[in-house]
């Protein structure tokens, strides 16, 4: 247990959500559900944040914004896809302007489906994300984790649009690959 997961700050970005999940994220922070009792504060500054909540699917116009926010966040960081649109594209998957879930743009650590996701689900996902955060912190302390910003050109991200999951690009598998390369 470290101080990081005792008080993780979160940043929220609405990729192309219908607002349903966004207002549930905000509802989590208000008196009824009160995420602040876990030390969680909503911040607008990516440099302050440890947890990145993405709602909604990614499209051509906002894929860069999502990646910019992700790149500005400092390690260790956790990405949580809130709602089914952020997980897979959801009901809008067939729309012409939807590329897919948040994992098209950035590596996602926790998937939290639901339409709209309930505040209880968000709290569960954040608490689960804190476990990942702690693992990453340990890896960082041991010198195994280095921050690698996403490439500027989106060609790699766009390849995965055809419904493939992007788990192969997730952080841990990159790490494992590096480990096996080194060995």
What is the spatial distance between Cα 22 and Cα 33, in angstroms, rounded to a whole number?
15
Write the CB contacts of 104 (distance below 8 Å, at least 6 apart in sequence). 58, 63, 157, 158, 160, 161, 166
Question: Which of the stretches 56-64, 100-108, 137-145, 155-163 binds another protein when contact is defined by CB under 8 A?
Answer: 56-64
Contact 8, 134 (CB under 8 A): no
CB of 22 to another protein, least distance (A): 5
Task: Provide φ and ψ at 170, rounded to 5°.
Answer: -70, 160
The window from 43-51, 101-109, 140-148, 166-174 that contacts another protein (CB under 8 A) reads 43-51
Which residue in 10, 59, 73, 122 binds another protein (CB under 8 A)? Answer: 59
Per CB under 8 A, 24 contacts another protein: yes
Q: Is residue 56 at the binding interface for another protein, with CB under 8 A as the rule? A: yes
- Rounded Cα gap, residues 96 and 47, in angstroms: 33
153 contact partners, CB below 8 Å, separation of at least 6: none
**Could you say whether residue 138 binds another protein (CB under 8 A)?**
no
Q: What are the residues binding another protein (CB under 8 A)?
A: 13-14, 16-24, 26-27, 30-32, 43-45, 56-57, 59, 61-62, 65, 69, 91-92, 94-98, 115-116, 118
């Amino acid at each position: 247990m470290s101080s990081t997961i005792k008080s993780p700050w979160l940043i929220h970005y609405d990729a192309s959500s219908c607002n349903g999940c966004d207002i549930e994220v905000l509802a989590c922070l208000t008196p009824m559900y009160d995420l602040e009792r876990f030390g969680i504060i909503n911040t607008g500054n990516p440099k302050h944040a440890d947890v990145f909540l993405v709602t909604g699917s990614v499209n051509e116009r906002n894929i860069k914004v999502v990646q910019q926010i992700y790149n500005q966040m400092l390690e260790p960081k956790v990405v949580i896809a809130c709602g089914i649109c952020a997980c897979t594209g959801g009901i809008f998957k067939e729309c012409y302007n939807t590329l897919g879930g948040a994992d098209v743009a950035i590596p996602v650590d926790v998937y939290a489906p639901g339409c709209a996701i309930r505040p209880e689900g968000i709290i569960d996902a954040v608490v689960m994300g804190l476990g990942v955060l702690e693992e990453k912190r340990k890896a960082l302390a041991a010198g195994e984790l280095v921050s690698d910003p996403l490439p500027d050109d989106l060609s790699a991200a766009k390849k995965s649009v055809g419904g493939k999951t992007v788990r192969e690009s997730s952080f841990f598998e990159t790490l494992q690959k590096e480990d096996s390369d080194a060995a």
